[in-house]
Structure 1
Amino acid sequence: LRIAEVPMLPHMDRPADRKAGCKHRCTDAAMNYLKAEVMEMCHSEGLYQIDLLNGSKERITEREYWAQKKGQAALDKANAPMIADGITPRQTKFETDKAKLRRTIREALAAASGFDEFAALLLRHGVTVKESRGRLSYLTPDRTKPITARKLGDDFDRAAVLSVLEQNAARAAEKPAAIAEYPGSIKDRLRTKKEAKNAPNNDAVQRMVDIAAKRAEGKGRGYEKWATMHNLKQMSATLMLYQQYGFSSPDELDAAISAANAATQESLAGLKGLEAAIREKKELQRNLLGYIGTKPARDGLKAQKSEKARRAYREQHESDFLIADAAARYFREHGITKLPASKALQREIEQLTVQKNAGYNDYREKRQRAQELQTVRRNIDQILRGAPSQQKKHEQER
């Protein structure tokens, strides 16, 4: 409760907000006012304070703050003898694990123009980026639990990352494009092979309206007049479609609905199988390209003569060996003993994509036929219940 009466402040919108004995209301404006007051108090006392109103580009917790302070003090102490001897230390600024991760992410963001490229650049440094429920998280090689973007700062969440990538893509598009080695890209080849999707049929038969039920809900005279005309049109369209299909009894219609539903489910199962196969091939392609890209580093390791040299070489090319080990582990888990050619694998993905597009068109056609037959069945049931005669009788009573 408010202890004493106060003057009307900008965030107050009711007379009770300023009176003594009335409750405080935690509106958005009131919370922003309180945040601003807390920030002013902290700044006036010389305390460390983040921006509570606009978020923090780099969110540093108290634990990280003191870890950086202690680490910097220890580094300065270790560098003091070298500086006294006139030797320039290799490292003068201490970085926490989160600070290193922020620097790595910023470097990848500056060089990438798409999310896949951004993830690939991070993977080169051993950092895996994951998206879950619209939020990003980053997993470093020395951790088992990923660090969420919220703990790093607002500059590393999904919206900020996508915004930077869009800006990079726009700047890249403004530059003159280099002459391609081949006349067409993969997307162009897929676009030429992709079958045209069927446009939805807006003139399909629609469900008839239960006028009595709508009247009981409180619908007025205007709606009833429209529903009557709508039912007459749909009745005509339903009977015409019933004759076109050649049904002679409702039992034949039920059998056709069952067959259409079964065909729809079969088509959907095939479509899901193709999507799973494409995901599998793309995962294999990602590991294959990563493994091929690390071949120079692996060949360099073989050239090292001693164990000490091999250890130093692995530490120097740690990111390459992390990618190579992950790819080798994937190959072992999936029983792949002979690696496929990258071009042949790309052709398989293109063929599966074309089949998926064709399968989707087939699934949509079968689903539309099943829905159309279901609508015909409902309308036939309503016609057999005598809905038209009831509507005519109601019109005469009016």
Structure 2
Amino acid sequence: MAIVKHIKSRNANYSDALDYLIFQHDESTGKMILDEFNRPLRRDELYMDGLNCNPDTFDVECYECNEHFKKNRSKSEIKSHHYIISYDPADAIECDLTGEKAQALSLELAKKIFPGYQALIVTHTDGHNGSGNIHTHIVINSVRKNTVKRESYMTQPHDHEAGYKHRSTNKFLDYFKKEIMDMCIQEGLHQIDLLSPAETKVPQAEYMAQKSGQKKLEEANKKIIADGLKPTATTFQTQKQELRNAIEECSSHSKNFQEFQSLLFEKYQISVIEERGRYRYLHPDRDKRITEKALGTQYGKEHLEQLFLRKNPITILYVRSHLRLVVDLQKNVKAMQSPGYAHRVKISNLQEMANTIIYVQEHGYNTQTELKSAFSESQKQLDQATDQLMEMNADLKSINRQIHYTGQYFAQKAIYTEFLKAKNKGRFRKEHTAEIQAYEEARDWLKSFYPDGKMLPIKTLKEQKASLQEQIDQQKSSIRSLKDLTQDLRTVDKNVEAILHNQVPKKQKTREPEL
């Protein structure tokens, strides 16, 4: 299960990369570990090669390349790119992967992926945080040293030429990941699909924040325990992880987005809205929302809607069938006038009757009574959903009025304050009649709406409006699904009547009003 990680560096000191790869470092502080003689400790096992450079003089040769092409002279420029390929710990046990073999594989891969670049390829066998997994570091100078053959992932005209900088685009990363997957499959190593988004996405920054937070928490807990008390928390969680836990908890108890949204806010004070087809979450300790993309696909709209669908398929999604009412040949004028048309209608009726029987069997209706009950229940749910939509629209109208008058109140408040301080109030009112009237209108309305005088801020009102609008959109979608279901059940009920009584129903033209 090889995975790849990418880190950009603006550090102009290439020697730091060499030191990190060769010598042991404290993972929490990032500082080099020294022995009793104050000398850096070399890593226990490492394999190192250079591409288009001598690995021991990688730093010097990178400086020379940059100077030759007059690149990487400003602090803001990216000086190097650091790619880390981590292999599955099971590869060493089950697939006989060694550090030496991983180094050979990674070197060949680097030659294919980074031709023309000065690169340092180093394999460690210790693993991060003592995990023991074999991993390879590929550090490249951001400036290409030699011109190479143009590749399909290159998007700019000069990407393949010497003197131009490396661009880690999505297209390049997909190409890189595919090559890693192909390499692992060819070598019989464990591998996952790197091109599909991760179910749970934990980037490097979040991982390091969790480690740092855990260390601080443990230090604080030691003092608490020393005082004879019991710590309230032993595991540090980032805000993103708190969101993940809350989403998992609430989604498991929700049948639709509205329930999920309400439960998430009631239990954890986490707000969720849908924007541009994605869920966006607001942690109570943040001012900026976090998108589902930053958490992982398991916490996104597509996955959660499928989860809701499995619990309550009727109100979330219903795929409309193509059932139609059978035609009454005895009352169809065209059928009576044209034997050919009548023959086609007979065939069509037989097909619709067959489809009706299939529908009944697939949905498990054993008796006509069950079918009629399902139709009645669907109609009832449709009526209830329509009533709920009307209530939501009324609430939205109320929130819009609150936003309108709250904005109007604060917009004219300064003028009204000046009016109260004016010596000649009559003259001031005459000069600012419209503003003062607007203020007084808003003030009177807000007083009647907020008897306790506690107004909601504009920001809160707008958040409520956005949340309610999302609920309305979801409700409309549910109503459309319920309408389709009700119409299908109505058609099936009529067709079953025709089949059981050997007669055909009258063809009805029904037109459902659009939302």
TM (norm. structure 1) is 0.46
TM (norm. structure 2) is 0.36
Higher RCO by CA contacts (8 Å cutoff, separation 6 or greater): 1
Q: Which has the higher strand share?
A: 2
Q: Which has the higher helix share?
A: 1
